[in-house]
Amino acid sequence: MDAVPDPILLTDPEGRLILANSRAEALLVAREGRSEGYARAVALNNLLFSAALASRTPEGQVSRRELPLVDPFDGSDLLFELISLPTGVPAGPGVVSILRNVTDLRRATEEMEENYRRLREAEAQARAERDQLDLIIDSVADPILVTDPNGAILLMNAPAERLFTPQPGAPDEVAMRVQANDAHVSSFFANLLFSGGAARHRGFLGLHDPETGEALPMEAVAGKVLGPQGELVGLVTILHDRREALERERLYEQLRQASVELEEKVRQATAELVWQNELLRRQALQLEQASAAKSQFLANMSHEFRTPLNAILGYTSLLLQGVVGELAPAQRRSLERVDSSARHLLALINDILDISRIEAGKMPLHPSEFALADLVAELMAELEPIVARARLPVYREVPDDLPPLRTDRAKVKQILLNLMTNALKFTPEGWVELHAAWDADTDRVRVAVTDTGIGIAEPDQQRVFEDFSQADSSPTRAYGGAGLGLAISRRLASMLGGEITLVSAPGRGSTFTLVLPRALGGR
């Protein structure tokens, strides 16, 4: 029994040990002088062995079961296969038990099972990664090829299959184009594989569309896939259609050429513009000199005209007053016409003189503080003869709380006099109104002169502010005047920091609005 490598035991029907070889005694028989841990391991082994015997199969049959024990010497776990069979002995029936140590076998089996499980998981992961790679490759619009170290194609996406795989039943010309494409890419792979060098390579291939035969200039970018030891395991190649890039290059070249031509045209235009600007500068200087000469001439001539006119007005006034004797009715009417015409001519000369002084920049400003209501009252008194002749009701509205103005009083009066005179002249029937208001937010005063007269068409509304212009400029116009009043008024308003606006419609009257800062220069 001691020659057998497995532990062998003989027990009676009650499980008491009758005989054991040395292997079994080492596990189940306590020796004196051993450590406490050794004794506990032996005691535990006896309990486990007794429990296993108690659960054996019915008498007369061989039973097999696993028996976990503890190595008494190092405390490691051991696993035995317990084979029990009944036998007869001189003292009566008993049980022979053989313990086969299967610890290493179990460990090897478990390792194999774990390795198999890991292998299955790796295969599943590889399949998932392969499926994911297929999805990624198929989602790319550019052709993609995966080859082995010899250049044989292992995997390709749909765009690549269209170029390198002939469809069943395809015409001969399609198959020939596919073969030509395959030859081009095979040559590219061969050059890459035998050239060595960098792990990434770029080249250009001249392929053709198998279906249409259209030339496909392709840019090929290939990358080497290396294994753990640096060995070549495959190639991944992406083909990119360069038609759009070539078209962009062509367009860029066209744009560059157009830019060069445009620069030359701009240079020529700039030179022409410089010449034109110089010509305009000279013309402007000549015009400025001519304008100054004109203004000086008008000022001189106006002065020369005013002297005899004042004499005519003076002598006419004396005659009308009866200084030299009583006048016959016909003589008085003639002298009144002379006086009226002379005063009209004097007003025209004054307007021309004002225009000349404004253009020459010699119209001085004399700001002073005054109440607008007082100025309007004074204006209305001067307009009484004109209002009487026009036979029109004239309304005025100047708020009592309107703050005083600090600007050139005479210029404001001249502007309002021109606006009111025009309103009365061009209003055959209806009424004329002067309305003043103050905007506290902008600190500006608005004086609107509204009439129900003939009105002004929109195309003529800008022209009425030009020198010597009226809305009706025909030789048969119904209203007289030189057309300087509004031109002077707008220029005076601009000198005072304001403006004149116009709202009008034919047959519905007009509203001229003078807008001025309450204080000249914001002071």
**Structural domains of the chain, ranges and CATH numbers in brackets:** 8-101 (3.30.450.20), 140-241 (3.30.450.20), 244-363 (1.10.287.130), 366-522 (3.30.565.10)
Alpha carbons 144 and 154: distance in angstroms, whole number: 11
- The pair of structure tokens assigned to 385 is 């003869």
Residue 497: is it exposed, middle or buried by C-beta count within 10 angstroms (0-12/13-18/19+)?
middle
Distance CA 92, CA 104 (A): 37
d(CA 505, CA 310): 40
For the segment 99-150, what is each residue's pLDDT rounded down to a tens digit? 888 888 888 888 998 999 999 988 888 787 777 766 776 667 788 888 887 7
Our measurement of the distance from residue 21's CA atom to the centroid of its chain's CA atoms, rounded to an integer in Å, reads: 93
Q: Which of 61-75, 164-178, 354-368 has the lowest mean pLDDT?
A: 354-368
> Each residue of 158-207: pLDDT tens digit?
888 888 887 787 788 888 888 888 888 888 877 777 666 666 777 788 88
| pLDDT value at residue 144 | 84
Amino acid at residue number 92: G
Say what the pTM is.
0.42
